[in-house]
Amino acid sequence: MSDKPKVYADLPLLDQDGLHRVPLRLYLLLLVLLRPYICWIATLTLPSDQRTMLSYIYPHSSDFVRACLIAIPVLLILAALTQRVPYDKKLKRGRAKRFWFGIWRQSRWVLLPVCTVDLYWTVSHLPPYVSVNAPWLLLAPLVLVLGLCWLVRSRRLPLVFAEWPEDKAA
């Protein structure tokens, strides 16, 4: 019996369109980067007497505006992700291949500075004694640090960002 571990071939997991599946970690990172918009939508759905939820996360309105401005490029990446389907006239899906693929191809290099700026902004604007008074605010910087490490070290992510579906034949 050999002591060597079995070596398995790198078989990519493909979706129904024959593309590499978008990792769930990327979805998590997009959610963390889009948290000002998610908080904004959650606040808008609350009754008017409970709309102070946003002030717990962003004490100053200028902090909220800056967080939204930092996350604007991530909105484009999210839109490109939704357009990552082949054009099919019958199903009426997939449009503007060149524009969205241009954004999608550069997404990794857009996410790195956005994640870095968001991490810097989040850490520099944490309230004093955050670990005692509001420890849940430390989750975002932790996830951002892990996301940055993953963006830099992932071998699968360049494969995902390099491909775009081909149009279906008529």
Rounded to the nearest 5°, which phi and psi values hold at 62? -65, -30
**Is 99 a member of any domain?**
yes
**Is 29 a member of any domain?**
yes
**Is 8 a member of any domain?**
no
| pLDDT computed for residue 136 by the predictor | 78
**Is 10 a member of any domain?**
no
pLDDT in tens, the chain (170 residues): 556 665 555 555 666 667 788 889 999 999 999 999 998 898 888 887 777 777 777 777 888 899 999 999 999 999 998 888 766 666 666 566 778 888 999 999 999 999 999 999 988 877 788 777 777 778 889 999 999 999 999 988 998 898 887 765 55
**Is 4 a member of any domain?**
no
Determine the structural domain holding residue 99 and report its residue range.
24-162
**Is 35 a member of any domain?**
yes
Number of independent structural domains in the chain: 1
Among 139, 120, 138, 119, residue whose Cα is nearest residue 129: 138
Rounded to the nearest 5°, which phi and psi values hold at 44? -70, -25
pTM of the model: 0.80
Question: How many Cα atoms within 13 Å fall on the side-chain side of residue 152?
Answer: 10
**Is 146 a member of any domain?**
yes
